[in-house]
Structure 1
């Protein structure tokens, strides 16, 4: 069973999540590609397609939508899944980690002609030491206005790996 994993990531957490899913699905042969380096691909060569994308400054990247539009017919024919990585999903008590309550998924579904059979939402991570001065200031500001804790001297991972495992099993069953 051959699957294709595509990712759109700036900081690397989305790719890290895909690697984790790949390890969970040892019975599947998975090929992982950066969506930004992939223009046209025959998606029908794969039994399943999984796209993971991260939010940066409140938006999914334009290249993600461009890829979807270029490959919409094959995506609609495939057993497809999508997940979004964003910091809003860290608010599990407010259910911001569900497709029904996550603003970024709602926006994605409005903007995208593709309606995946399976959708996931995962919190990302923050590593202030990795960011430049402007990005660090912006993230601190965003965390302040969203009541988030600020860990400027350490990496903070918010990803709920148990939830990623459950998503992996749902993907397997597609």
Structure 2
């Protein structure tokens, strides 16, 4: 089986998750291509497609939504999965596809539900953000009772959950 992993990442953490999944799938014998969403190869060349996308300021990037809508028919004919990465997913009760508001909004926008879905907590890296992003995210974290110290750099990703998604995707 030929697998394509597509990534939409703003600060690089979603790409890191995609690379981890790619590495695991390759170790299990899959032929895997990893590409950014904007450089997506021809989907018809692949048997499986997994798409990972980060949340920025409360929503997925517009190109992720348009890509999924534009390619929905072809994706429905393949083994397909989608995962979302956000800081909100660090919280219990918001860390599953069913309980994560960003995921539910996204599924409504694309008017389709890929058979394999997952949600991961992201990385909070204040020193790595520009001034505007840092202040917006600090405010959101203050409201949601998250870390607000300006030197905070913490990863909320459950790497065991990432590995479990790779296995689920392999076995699909």
Scaled by the length of structure 2, the TM-score of the pair is 0.94
Aligned equivalent of 1:137 = 135
Aligned partners of 1:87, 1:144: CA distance in 2, in Å? 12
Superposed, which structure 2 residues align to 1:40-119 within 5 Å? 41-92=41-92, 95-119=93-117
- Native 8 Å contact 1:43 1:78 kept in 2: no
Residue in 1 that maps onto 2:126: 128
2:36 to 34, 37, 43: 34
For 1:142 and 1:154, locate their aligned partners in 2 and report how far apart those are by CA, in whole Å.
14
| Shift in Å, 1:73 | 1.4
**Residues 55-98 of structure 1, C-alpha deviations (whole Å, 9 max, x = no match):** 00001011011111221211110100000000111002xx2111
Whole-angstrom distance in 2 between the partners of 1:91 and 1:11: 21
Q: Give the SS at the match of 2:56.
A: coil
Aligned length: 170
SS of residue matched to 1:55: strand
Of 120-129 and 69-78, more deviation after overlay is shown by: 69-78
The alignment's C-alpha RMSD in Å is 1.2
Following the alignment from structure 2 to structure 1, what is the Cα–Cα distance between the partners of residues 8 and 50?
A: 11
Do the aligned partners of residues 87 and 134 (structure 1) sit closer, same or farther apart at CA in structure 2, a change above 3 Å counting? same
Structure 1: unaligned runs, 5 residues or longer:
none
TM-score, normalised to structure 1, is: 0.93
